[in-house]
Amino acid sequence: MGLINLGQGVPVNVLQKMGLDLETVRLEVEKQVGTGPDQKLAGNIPYTPRVKKVLELSKKEAKALHHTYVGTEHILLGLLARARASRRGAEESRHRHRPVPGEILQS
C-alpha cells in the first residue's frame, strides 16, 4: 500500500498504464496481505506470514531479472505472483470439491 501511497514510481506508473484505479488496487492489496497495527512501532516491525511470502516472491522476481536489489517494481511483481497463486489455489479447491453430476443425482 505504501507503493501506491507514494503516488509515483514504477508500480504506480505500471498500474496507471494498465488503466487500474489506485484506490481499488490498494483495497485489493489490503485484502490479500492484511494490515498491521495502526500504531507506529520502533525497532523490528513484525511481518505477517503473507507479507513475508510477498517479500520472498519479490526477491525471486529480482533474481529472475538478474537484479542485485529488490525495488518497488519487484514488490509489485511479488504481489501479483501472490494473487495469482491464491486464485490458482482457490480454483483447484473448487474443482476438487465440485460434485460430479452423478453424485448430485444420487442425493
pLDDT given at position 90: 58
Is residue 106 in a domain?
no
Is residue 14 in a domain?
yes
- Please tell me the distance from the alpha carbon of residue 54 to that of residue 78, in angstroms, as a whole number: 5
* CA-angle at 17, arms to 22 and 35, nearest 5°: 25
Write the burial class of residue 53 (CB in 10 Å: 0-12 exposed, 13-18 middle, 19+ buried): middle
Is residue 40 in a domain?
no
The helix or strand, by DSSP H or E, that contains position 74, with its residue range, turns out to be helix 72-97
Is residue 104 in a domain?
no
Which range of residues forms the domain containing residue 86? 2-33+47-99
- Please tell me the distance from the alpha carbon of residue 24 to that of residue 21, in angstroms, as a whole number: 5
Mean per-residue pLDDT pooled into runs of 10, the chain (107 residues): 66 79 80 64 74 92 92 87 75 53 42
The answer to whether the beta carbons of residues 4 and 15 sit under 8 Å apart is: yes
pLDDT given at position 31: 77
pLDDT given at position 94: 55
Is residue 24 in a domain?
yes
C-alpha closest to that of 36 among 1, 70, 84, 85:
1
Is residue 38 in a domain?
no
Is residue 107 in a domain?
no
Is residue 21 in a domain?
yes
pLDDT given at position 45: 72
CATH number for 29 = 1.10.1780.10
- Please tell me the distance from the alpha carbon of residue 53 to that of residue 3, in angstroms, as a whole number: 17
pLDDT given at position 24: 84
Domains held by the chain: number: 1
Q: Does the pTM exceed 0.75?
A: no
Residue carrying the nine cell digits 511479488: 78
